[in-house]
Structure 1
Amino acid sequence: MPQTAAPPRLTEVTADDIEALAAGTAVFGTGGGGSVYTSRIVVEQALRERGPVQLVTVDELTDDDTVILMSGIGAPTVGIEMLTAAEQVETLLRVSERAAGRPITTLMAAEIGGSNGVGPIGWASQLGLKVLDADGMGRAYPDAAMISMNVAGLPCDFAVLSDVIGNVSVLETVDLHWLERLARVLTIASGSICLGTHYPMTRETARGAVIEGTVSAAIRVGRALLAAAEPVSAIAEAMGGEILLTGKITDLDRRTETGFTRGSVTITGLGDDRGRVQSIELQNENLVVVEDGRVVVSVPDNVTLVDAETGHAITTEMLRFGQRVAVLAWPADPLWRSPRGLELAGPRAFGLDIDYTPFELGAR
């Protein structure tokens, strides 16, 4: 049987790629990362005005390149209404270069999930920088310590935080847990949403510490969704995942506290899944799926709720009673299944008193 040729590698991101990128990052967001709607509009406009952004691999970085992560931090529910100030990214770049002691040439998404997977493309366009085809999570996580560089043991030299009215903080913390504590307090004081940079990296330090290929993967998944006659099945196939349940939301408990969107959602099965019920615990992202008292999927494996007809992902802040949804799951990147990965992002890292059982396709 002839093998299907691999698609050519993306070398740039254009305005025409952003609809697919937004659709894909919403799926990768596992319920978090923020709504992609506003980011999509802003980034499309930026690229139409300034042209494409160069997309590079780790191996294509030079000795003169410095990569830094840029992302939003805070409660996604707040991010719907509080938009980024025009000068925030210029301020972040200027202060980050001063802290790093060298020019920043390349941006990377802290998380490929949600708006944080789309935003760096627009910010890079605004700043005239390249974008690394990689991210620090392969999904979305709510905690600064839950990032691949921390799993790999790479120290974070500094972080810079900026809010919409111009306050800027430079943090040099003893570890990522302290960065999370301090950045979260500053973010709450700023209205529960900020922009930040952290983890300056070179080609050598990035290699093996980032999750590569995720920007192009999100665009590929988004294209599959947008082109398919049966989008939910198309996403599951493109993600290497599985549809766990199709039903409607019959209960929703959601609140914003301590800078996070927290709560739970209950989905009651319809059609072939009638009689089945699944509940999902939330902390910005979807953490655990339970059915009949049994854990079906838990972090670090991935769970996304998508519209049962259109296939578009629904972030936790956009969940509504009565929505028809499908529950989609797929295995985590192997990095997160390592002992260090589970320590940082397994169920007990979220205060859940359960052990991690790897999600395997077709095992339910």
Structure 2
Amino acid sequence: MKELTTEDIDNISIGASVLGSGGGGDPKVGRLVAKHMIEKYGPVSLISIDELKDDQYVVPIAGMGAPTVSLEKLPSEIELTNPLQTLEKAFGKKADVVIPFEIGGLNSLCPIAGAAKLGLPILDADTIGRAFPEAQMETFHLHGLEPKKVAVADEKGNTALLTPIDAYWFEYMSRALTVQMGGSASVSDYFLPGKDVKGAVVNGSLTLAKEIGELLSHQEDYDDVFDALLDKLNGFELYDGKVVGVTRETKRGFNFGKAEIEGLNKYAGQKFSIEFQNENLVAKQGNEIMASVPDLIIALDIESGFPVTSERLQYGSRVKVVSFPCDPQWRTQIGIKTAGPRYFGYDVDYVPVEKLQGKED
């Protein structure tokens, strides 16, 4: 067990934005919220999966909605903690540990902020290993665990308790509420004992995010920071380019869009694109898919090396687009069915990025 420092928060915000695959919320917002809550309520302890006891109850905290909305509609204190406290009342038990729903710039840090207010530790894990746009896209769902009760809250104090029949209905109902709550809300969806959590999450997520943040924050230690990042995450460079057009639309509680990119350097004269639904879904050269969900696709600023989220992509951005393999749990049959390209409307089967890049062992 260790206490998270403000420097840890800075590094987690950077690394989580890489792992967020273009989504998971804005890191600056998450960083400010987490630091404020730690300064106000005290430090948060990070515990490993090995330290988690079988009878300790673990509850996720997450933001739901369109990331562009969260740039202006910041979560309030009660929004961060009302969902978890509502589930405590519904189950008649106290939560012992908070877990991030996903790894992303905002959604890795708001759980830390909520944990600070509640005086609870946070688990060094998450339920995705990246960020995904829909609520059923959790490793709990892949392991047959379905949410029995779900709580959704807004910044005003409105809170709803839902009893969905499965994770898909959790997504449908909570998304509708999120839209009515102004396009963003907070949710807590599971109330599980440690014995059920172990083996059903992605371990070490926050530590990995911190290590990535440290790498990008100390670029002078590396001959090439991009190569160092690719080595750390077993990733692949897809292309360098300049964003020459972005279409973006907020609807049904999501950001949908596409960034058109002209190749630079050795990719000059070639046309590329990234398509996203909150998170980056596919990277293409022309009409050819170079990488797709559930693998991670990230745009990195060519000058700074820092990740550029989908809501921050704009005309003139110069980016290096890279891809990393997803957690193996997403490469199972149910994982691909839940979050593969066909789920998002692409008429193609999932192919691992290493195979698409011709570098499969």
Residue pair 2:260, 2:272 contacting (<8 A) in 1 also: yes
Secondary structure, aligned partner of 1:60: coil
Secondary structure, aligned partner of 1:360: helix
Residue pair 1:232, 1:308 contacting (<8 A) in 2 also: no
Alignment of 1:37-116 (within 5 A): 37-116=28-107
2:255 equivalent to 1:261: yes
Residue pair 2:80, 2:111 contacting (<8 A) in 1 also: no
Alignment of 1:191-340 (within 5 A): 191-229=182-220, 230-340=224-334
Answer with 27-36 or 47-56: which moved more: 47-56
Residue pair 1:304, 1:313 contacting (<8 A) in 2 also: yes
Residue pair 2:55, 2:195 contacting (<8 A) in 1 also: no
Separation of aligned partners in 1, 2:184 and 2:41:
27
Answer with 177-186 or 63-72: which moved more: 63-72
Stretches of structure 2 lacking an aligned partner (at least 5 in a row):
none
Answer with 349-358 or 236-245: which moved more: 236-245
Residue pair 1:14, 1:47 contacting (<8 A) in 2 also: no
Could you tell me how far 1:91 is from its partner in structure 2? 2.4
Separation of aligned partners in 2, 1:59 and 1:99:
28
Percent same amino acid among aligned pairs?
A: 37
What code does the residue aligned with 2:160 have?
S
Task: Provide, for residues 56-86 of structure 1, a one-character-per-residue CA deviation record: whole Å limited to 9, x for no partner.
Answer: 1222122441100100000001110001122
Task: Provide, for residues 276-311 of structure 1, a one-character-per-residue CA deviation record: whole Å limited to 9, x for no partner.
Answer: 221111100110111143211010011011111111
Query: What TM-score results when the alignment is normalised by the length of structure 2?
Result: 0.95
Could you tell me how far 1:182 is from its partner in structure 2? 0.6
What code does the residue aligned with 1:217 have?
L
Residue pair 2:148, 2:165 contacting (<8 A) in 1 also: no
Secondary structure, aligned partner of 1:347: coil
2:358 counterpart (349, 360, 363): 363
Answer with 57-66 or 274-283: which moved more: 57-66
Task: Provide, for residues 202-253 of structure 1, a one-character-per-residue CA deviation record: whole Å limited to 9, x for no partner.
Answer: 1110011111110100000110011013433332222221221111101211
What code does the residue aligned with 1:65 have?
Q
Task: Provide, for residues 252-277 of structure 1, a one-character-per-residue CA deviation record: whole Å limited to 9, x for no partner.
Answer: 11110111100111111111221222
Alignment of 1:128-143 (within 5 A): 128-143=119-134
Separation of aligned partners in 2, 1:243 and 1:320:
21
What code does the residue aligned with 1:333 have?
D
Answer with 122-131 or 58-67: which moved more: 58-67
Aligned to 1:7: none
Separation of aligned partners in 2, 1:58 and 1:192:
33
Separation of aligned partners in 2, 1:59 and 1:203:
10
Separation of aligned partners in 1, 2:176 and 2:81:
23
Secondary structure, aligned partner of 1:287: strand
Separation of aligned partners in 2, 1:90 and 1:214:
22
Separation of aligned partners in 1, 2:41 and 2:261:
44
Aligned to 2:347: 353
Separation of aligned partners in 2, 1:108 and 1:90:
13
Aligned to 2:167: 176
Residue pair 1:303, 1:329 contacting (<8 A) in 2 also: yes
Separation of aligned partners in 2, 1:253 and 1:354:
23
Task: Provide, for residues 169-218 of structure 1, a one-character-per-residue CA deviation record: whole Å limited to 9, x for no partner.
Answer: 11111111111111111000111100111111111100111111101000
2:111 equivalent to 1:120: yes
Answer with 223-232 or 213-222: which moved more: 223-232
What code does the residue aligned with 2:18 have?
V
Residue pair 1:231, 1:310 contacting (<8 A) in 2 also: no
* Distance of aligned partners of 1:333 and 1:63 in 2 relative to their CA distance in 1, 3 Å threshold: closer
Separation of aligned partners in 2, 1:119 and 1:228:
27
What code does the residue aligned with 1:356 have?
Y
What code does the residue aligned with 1:252 have?
V
Separation of aligned partners in 2, 1:163 and 1:49:
21
Paired residue total: 355
Answer with 82-91 or 99-108: which moved more: 82-91
Answer with 59-68 or 337-346: which moved more: 59-68
Secondary structure, aligned partner of 2:232: helix
Separation of aligned partners in 1, 2:81 and 2:298:
33
Separation of aligned partners in 2, 1:260 and 1:68:
24
2:146 counterpart (146, 155, 177): 155
What code does the residue aligned with 2:104 have?
G
Residue pair 2:11, 2:210 contacting (<8 A) in 1 also: yes
Stretches of structure 1 lacking an aligned partner (at least 5 in a row):
1-9
Residue pair 2:57, 2:95 contacting (<8 A) in 1 also: yes
